[in-house]
Every structure is written in structure tokens, then in C-alpha cells.
Amino acid sequence: MGAIREVTLGQLLDEAVEKWPDTEAVVYVDRDFRLTYREFGELVDTVAKGLMALGVKKGEKVAVWANNVPYWVTLQFATAKIGAILLTVNTHYRSHELKYLLENSEADNLFIIGSYRDHDYLQTVYEQIPELKVQERGQLRTNKFPKLRRVFYLGHEKHRGMYSIPELQAMAAMVSDEEYQARQAELDPHDVVNMQYTSGTTGFPKGVQLTHHNIGNNGYWIGKNQEFQPGERLALTVPLFHCFGCVLGVLACINHGVTMVILEDFVPTDVMLAIDQEKCNAVYGVPTMFIAMLDHPLFPKFDFSNLRTGIMAGSPCPVEVMKRVMDKMNMTEITICYGLTESSPVMSQTKIGDTMEHMTETVGTAMPEVEIMITDPETGEEVGPGVQGEVCCRGYNVMKGYYNNPKATEETIDKDGWLHSGDLGVLDEDGYLSITGRLKDMIIRGGENIYPREIEEFLYTMDGVLDVQVAGVPSKRFGEEVGAFLILKEGVDLLPEDVTDYCRGKISKYKIPKYVTFMTEYPMTASGKIQKYKLRDHAAELWPNA
């Protein structure tokens, strides 16, 4: 296959089962849970028929509020096969955010786990939907969420008002193969199959509607650019509720017959153990995850010799980290991806064989069948190579739109079909894209435009610095000043003046951070993106008289 295909996710899975029936599809090392593609396909069909038996119709939304538990990926395909829409719920959500999502998305069904970290999901759901305790299962009627009909518990235990997984599977017997096939026959690859609420680094989260066509094809090319081969094994450590997990991970694997070695949560030792024991060929993560493994005292105890490729994405990849990953983890063919949920999500990716410079200073070239254009944020006109502007893309990967929000959709996708990312970037003569910041990240100090990325990369070269973020500090005199938020390596002690001394003479005076503070962690979205606006808010509190 070379071009873009017109297939549903269900058809993609059926193809995988036919081609690689005895290859392992899903593995959980910690509980010896292993399914071949044939077994995985059968489980998906059972759960899909169970949902049909309970009355889940085409176009219904099925919200899943869970970390990377074994049934998550099953639900991704079971919902797709019956034309339902998988609505992924951020594991870090609390009751207020869950209420917003269920209302805004008009969800018909909800799957939950018992708890996550210190948060009791069951308690939250009963608080939001007290009717569950008194109404008949499947007949839910609640004024707060008028569309919500069914709640499921992702496990074997029974809870008031909820169906358990064994009960759901038992219901499958009520649906014939003919009914199941007929449902699949009425699906269109351009139907919405996945809905994700954007991280909300700006404003209220919006429901991004993605089709089979969007994410199935994107998954294919993501795997192709890593040169995935059937039978290779991917350590999947990133959240499935995010595109990084369910598209870059799951759909790249399904397209290429790769085994998913899934971890419920990112714990450095668990990931390293899985890579070692399962002889993984690839691993995914945001830069902080790779740093956590490389700096772990037990790192030398594990065998990384089978690693070859993988993806680092989510936030800019520091050069030093990239070098260590390639050298110490054997990932000489690691790739970098860039995109956003609205672009399914990957619009550009580096390729195996790209130079070190391309792998660390760019986010690669446009994906096949995707166009990337840089426009002047003021005029909307296209700018030439080497000129900074807003990154826009067009192609099969552009979302169907924001759910029930035509105004926001129009603001994001223009009349010519270009998706506006809100990110600043530069294309070079060869089509390599570099991300220089967000339109809102840019620091403007006394009329000088300053791009945080440039200063961050410079500060990474300083001994003792583990991670660095640069954001604007509100200033009465200049509008904004440069603030640096550093995380130091263990045992390192630095003063703010050490940082400014290090910059002196090496970068332009106006770029030298006027304000420096040290932190132990950054405010993050659950998908691992650093929330710069929270750093700016923090800066305003730290330095109120700036």
C-alpha cells in the first residue's frame, strides 16, 4: 500500500487477524496477559456484539475513563466495529471536568475503572449520577446528562447500576453474526470514530472529531516511517486516551502487525523491565520519560540491545537527550513527530536515515499525502522558506471539526481546508519543519520577539541542568521579561546568578533570563505537555513587581 486507503478501523483489524493470526497483538508483562491477533480479534467481536445486544447504536458515544488497562484497546475496536464513537477521557480529570465532558459531548455510554492514583472514580461517578444506585441498569434517566443511558465497570466486580465486563461479554450471544455483519456493512470510513477533548492549554477543552479515514491512515504512515515489520514489539508507555497512545501506538501497530507491549502507567523500572524481557524493538515517550529512564540508578541493569526505533514527541526534544537515547538505549532509528489532535495527530515526522541535525533541530517533513504551509499570522499569506509564521496543514488527516462548535471549527480550518495549528514554525528549502514556539508562547520584550525554544536549547547545554522551560514574566516596563524555570540534576546546586552568568556573552542580552527559579516538576497536562500558561501565572506570583 502506498496511497491513502478507504477503510474502517474494523476492516484494518480484520486484515491484521488474517495476515498475522498467530503473532502476539497485546501483551501485559506484569500479569502475563497475552493475546495473539486471532484471539484479540475474537475478544473485540465478543465485546462489540455485547454492546449491540445492550442497544448501543451507530453514532452513539462511548466514553472511556481509564488508564491503559487491558480492555481499553479492545474497546477502541469494538466501538469502531459497530459504528460507535470512542470518547477518550483524560485520566487526570476530576468531577468538574468529567461533568463538563459528559455534558458537552452528550455521551450515551460511560466505561470506568475503580480508581486512578489517589482519585476514586466510582465515588465521583456516583456523586455525579446518584440515579445509578436506584435505577435499572441500561434504563438510566438523569436530568444532568439527558443522553447518558449506560454505565459499565471495566472489570469483573459488580457495582450498583453498572454492567461488568463478564456481563457485557455474556450478552454477545444475543446478537447473530448476520446482524453484526449488517451493522459493519453500513459504516463509512469517513464516519467519526474517535472523539478527544483537546488538552485545554488554552481555553475550554473542545471535542475533536476524528474519522476512521483520519486516524487509520495516519497510523499506517507513522508505522511506515519507523519501518515497522510484522512481529516487532513496541513498548507502549504513553496514555491511550491521547492520540500518542491510540493512534501513534495502537494504529501504527495494527497496520503493520506489530505487538503492543502495553504498560498501565509510566513507571521507569516497569518500562525498562518490559523492554528487556519482551525484547522490544521500539518505545514511545515524551522527553521527560526518556530522561527518567536514562537517569534511573537501575538503568545499567537492563538490556536495551533489541531497541531500534520509536517516537519522541509531545514537547521539543533536547539535543543532549536525543544523543543519549541513541547512544545508551540503542535507538539509532528513533523518530520525532509533530502534530496536534486536530491533525489526527501527526502532520510531520523525521525519517530513518535523517541527519542528527534534522532529528534534533526539526520535526521532519510533511507526512505523505499531507501539505504543510507557513503563513504570516497577520495577513494569512504564505511565507517563503526560512521565514517564521503559523504552521498550517491540509490533507486526509484534518479533523471533521469540533463537536457542536461550528464557530471554533471555522476559526481553525479555513475555507481552503487548511488547519491552523496556533504554532509558530519555519520550513527550510528541503521541506523540514522546525517549531519555534506557540503564537501565545512568544515573549515580546519591549518590541523584541523572543522565542522560548531558542533559549531553552541554549540552557540545556549548561552542566547540572536536567530540564528547562522558558516563559514570559509580565513586566511593567517592557511588557514581558524572560523567565527561566529549571529542574536541576540530582545533587546539583545552582544559584539564579549562575544561570545568568552562563548566558552572558553567549546569547543576545535581551534574551538572557532576567528571572530564574528552580522547580522539581512542571505543571503538565495528563498527556505530558507542559502548560506554559501556568508557568506564566506562576511567574506573575513569584515576581509581582517585575
Domain coordinates in residue numbering, the chain: 37-197, 443-542
Amino acid identity of residue 19, one-letter, is K
Q: For position 447, what pLDDT does the model report?
A: 67
Q: For position 2, what pLDDT does the model report?
A: 59
Q: Which residues pair with 63 in a beta bridge?
A: 87, 110
Inter-residue contact 279 to 301 (CB < 8 Å):
no
Burial of 220 (0-12, 13-18, 19+ CB in 10 A): buried
Tell me which of 115-129, 156-170, 306-320, 406-420 is least confident.
306-320
* pLDDT at residue 202 greater than cutoff 60: no
Exposure string over 413-427, b if 16+ CB within 10 A, otherwise e: beeeebbbbbbbbbb
* pLDDT at residue 532 greater than cutoff 90: no
Q: For position 545, what pLDDT does the model report?
A: 84
Rounded CA-CA distance 544/546 in Å is 6
pLDDT tens-place string over residues 450-471: 878 879 988 999 999 999 999 9
Nearest to 193 by CA among 417, 368, 404, 400: 400
Inter-residue contact 405 to 449 (CB < 8 Å):
no
Q: For position 380, what pLDDT does the model report?
A: 92
Rounded CA-CA distance 363/336 in Å is 6
Tell me if residue 4 falls in helix, strand or coil. coil
Q: What is the mean pLDDT of residues 381-387?
A: 97
User: What is the DSSP track for 481-508?
Assistant: EEEEEEEEPTT----HHHHHHHHTTTS-
Domain 37-197 has CATH 3.30.2390.10: no
Q: For position 490, what pLDDT does the model report?
A: 94
Q: What is the mean pLDDT of residues 538-544?
A: 90
Inter-residue contact 13 to 41 (CB < 8 Å):
yes
Domain 443-542 has CATH 3.30.420.40: no
Burial of 21 (0-12, 13-18, 19+ CB in 10 A): middle
pLDDT tens-place string over residues 150-201: 999 999 999 999 999 999 999 999 999 999 999 999 999 999 999 999 854 4
pLDDT tens-place string over residues 230-266: 999 999 999 999 999 999 999 999 999 999 999 999 9
User: What is the DSSP track for 35-77?
Assistant: EEHHHHHHHHHHHHHHHHHTTPPTT-EEEEE-SS-HHHHHHHH
* pLDDT at residue 48 greater than cutoff 90: yes
Q: For position 199, what pLDDT does the model report?
A: 57
Rounded CA-CA distance 120/237 in Å is 23
Nearest to 423 by CA among 404, 410, 442, 408: 442
User: How remote is the C-alpha of 70 from its chain's centroid?
Assistant: 18
Q: For position 203, what pLDDT does the model report?
A: 55
Inter-residue contact 421 to 393 (CB < 8 Å):
yes
Rounded CA-CA distance 77/260 in Å is 14
Nearest to 34 by CA among 247, 250, 259, 234: 259
Q: What is the mean pLDDT of residues 287-291?
A: 90
> 139 — phi, psi (to 5°)?
-115, 25
